[in-house]
Chains A and B, each alone.
Chain A
Amino acid sequence: MLLQQLINGLTLGGVYAIIALGYTMVYGILELINFAHGEIYMLGAYLGIIFLGIFTSLGLTAANFPLALLLTVLMTVLFCSAYGFTMEKVAYKPLRNAPRLSPLISAIGVSIFLQNYVMLTQGATDKVFPYRYGETHIRFLSVDLTALQAAIIITSALLMTGLHLFQKTRMGKAMRATAQDKTMAALVGINVDTIISMTFIIGAGLAAVAGIMVASYYGIVNYSIGYMAGIKAFTAAVLGGIGSIPGAMLGGILLGLIESIGAAYISSEYKDVYAFIVLLIILLIRPSGILGGYSEEKV
């Protein structure tokens, strides 16, 4: 039972962690809480449905499902990254030197805009993920998980490892340097605008994958799912220490575990409440988060 809940929690937590990374990376560089980040995840879920629909009508899904799924993920990541890139250029870059409240309000504006944009173009009713897959059950020790759950856990782990490796590359180091001191980064020749764009592109790409994973997992999406997911991921980022990449990973996984264990042992009615109880406790005891500290590395 406990092991089963741990697996469920890990599935959920992996997704939270992937979304939380986008929050924490943007915060690390711009000290901006990008409240529109959850909407990118929602767009990812919708675009996943759209692209899978396109590939189905082309006959590709029937012919070669893994290839169709892979192409769907790639196209969705591409589109969401474009959304993330544009969002920064339109809504945040002009406010780079404005008081900190301005970009925050702008972020809420982008969030409202994207929700309504999807509601108007896709309809206000729930959309069903057109394809069920990965429903084979795997029995492992005393745990029962679906192939899809396993795929979600593995994908999350791979993405996190990938991001960790990316930080050691030249671009990754430039990103960390920019997060630590933007002026000095410019003085060594780093184009700070490019780095900021890259941060939004990577964050949006990760959220896109999370969107597809959740849409496949629950089988249903709605234009408002970005709101709750965004708040949960934000909680995860704060829990781990906002601005810290390992913190976002840890926070996301912990949050997933807390939710599923709370739902199983206390009450599933209060599933969404556990996250916020944890957030309150953390903010009271350790406001900088588990791995956060005034000296903790940002990004």
Chain B
Amino acid sequence: MLKLTSLQASYGPIRAIDGIDLEVNKGEIVCLIGSNGAGKTTTLMAISGILKADAGDIFFEGGRITNLPAHEIVKKGISHVPEGRRIFPKLTVRENLQMGAYTLSSGKRAGTDEEGLIAKVFDLFPILRDRRDQMGGTLSGGEQQMLAVGRALMSGPKLLLLDEPSLGLAPIMVSKIFRTIREINNEGVTILLVEQNAKASLKLSHRGYVIESGAIALQGSGEGLLHNEDIKKAYLGE
């Protein structure tokens, strides 16, 4: 479904990823783990088009999407929940969700029921229903994360890119978010997950990639990586 071939991208003068090869199949949860600054976030940014790739290619459902503008990539069915959630602070919860459906109401997929989609997000995260007329910026961290995921689902994505969804959340919220990721996946959405919380994300994922200094160092099934001695030492603290 998604395929990266020798992808390179830079942050200013610094090459952040240097030849990433990665594949995500339809229906999978794939996680990308690695230490700070290894290039996880950069990889997602290159996929969703907010960072230009220097070299290499990105294919989605057989078509090349390398360096398309971000707003075109959303229309192809890739939704990105960026690091730090980036809720629109001065739009209400409802308006944030409506913005998530921005691509729907224009053009091809017209006639979709925005209200129905919002109701679905509210069913997934009931707390958002109570908060619907509150400004996004007034929500707690956990609520903002739910809103960020909900907003990304509004465009009806085929592939969801999640960047550090558990970062800065209380433990109870972390397990809630991970449960929800599985639920979303069960509904047929393919997921590429970037996480520092290697243990929880490997348990959740079908397959995983380990990224080190901008390149893939290791890959395997979630279960396999979880029991790999090197990974245990470096990322799981065992």
**What residues make up the interface of A, taking CB atoms closer than 8 Å to B?**
170, 173-174, 176-177, 180-181, 183-192, 295, 297-298
Residues of A within 8 A of B155 (CB): 188-189
- Evaluate contact between B82 and A183: CB separation under 8 angstroms: yes
* Choice from B79, B86, B98 contacting A181 with Cβ under 8 Å: B86
Q: A186 to B103, Cβ gap below 8 A?
A: no
Q: Is B48 an interface residue (CB 8 A)?
A: yes
Please, what's the 1-or-0 string for B61-82, where 1 marks a CB less than 8 Å from any CB in chain A?
0000000011100110001101
We find that the number of chain B residues with CB closer than 8 angstroms to chain A is 26
Whether A173 and B98, one on each chain, are in contact in the complex, defined by CB atoms closer than 8 angstroms, is yes
Query: Most chain-B CB neighbours within 10 Å: which of A176, A186, A189?
Result: A189
Query: Which B-chain residue is minimally distant from A297 (CB atoms)?
Result: B90
| B115 → chain A closest CB, angstroms | 14
Q: Residue-by-residue, is B140-151 near A (CB-CB < 8 Å gives 1, otherwise 0)? A: 000000000001
B88 CB within 8 Å of chain A: yes
Across the two chains, which residue of chain B brings its CB closest to A184? Answer: B86
B220 at interface (Cβ–Cβ under 8 A)?
no
CA distance A176 to B90 in the complex (A): 8
- Contact in complex: A188, B99 (CB < 8 Å): yes
Among A173, A183, A297, A298, which residue has its beta carbon within 8 angstroms of that of B99? Answer: A173
| Bound Cα distance A174, B98 (Å) | 10
User: Which residue, of B48, B49, B91, B155, has the highest number of chain A Cβ atoms within 10 A?
Assistant: B91
Residues of chain A with a CB closer than 8 A to B88's CB: 176-177, 180-181, 184
Contact A174 B99 (CB under 8 A): yes
The 4 A-B pairs of least Cβ separation, nearest first, read A189-B103, A297-B90, A189-B74, A186-B70
CA of A176 to CA of B99, assembled, Å: 10
User: B interface vs A, CB < 8 Å?
Assistant: 48-50, 69-71, 74-75, 79-80, 82, 86, 88-91, 95, 98-100, 102-103, 105, 137, 151, 155
User: Nearest-CB distance from A107 to chain B (Å)?
Assistant: 26
Q: Pick the contact of A186: B71, B79, B89 (CB < 8 A).
A: B71
C-alpha gap A174/B102 in the complex (Å): 8
Q: For residue A192, which residues in chain B have a CB less than 8 angstroms away from its CB?
A: 71
Q: Which residue of A lies closest to B155 (CB)?
A: A189
Task: Report the Cα distance A37→B102, complex, angstroms.
Answer: 30
Name A187's closest neighbour in chain B (CB-CB): B80
Q: A248 to B149, alpha carbons, bound, how many Å? A: 35
Instruction: Verify B89–A190 contact, CB threshold 8 A.
Output: no
Most buried by A among B70, B89, B91, B100: B70
9 contacting pairs across A/B (C-beta < 8 A): A180-B89, A180-B91, A183-B86, A187-B74, A188-B74, A189-B71, A189-B74, A189-B102, A191-B71
For A188, what are the chain B residues with a Cβ–Cβ distance below 8 Å? 74, 99-100, 102-103, 151, 155
Q: Are B91 and A187 in contact (CB under 8 A)?
A: no
Which of A187, A192, A295 has most chain B Cβ within 10 Å?
A: A187
| Chain A positions within 8 Å of B79 at CB level | 187
Q: Name B114's closest neighbour in chain A (CB-CB).
A: A170
A190 touches B69 (CB 8 A): no
Q: Cβ of A187 and Cβ of B70 under 8 Å apart?
A: yes
> A190 and B90 in contact (CB under 8 A), knowing A174-B102, A183-B50, A183-B82?
no
Residue from A181, A183, A188, A295 whose CB has the most chain B CB atoms within 10 Å: A188
B70: which A residues are within 8 A, CB to CB? 183, 186-187
Q: Which residues of chain B are within 8 angstroms of A295 by Cβ–Cβ distance?
A: 89-90, 137
B71 close to A190 (CB less than 8 A): yes
A98 to B185, CA, bound (A): 42
A151 to B237, CA, bound (A): 74
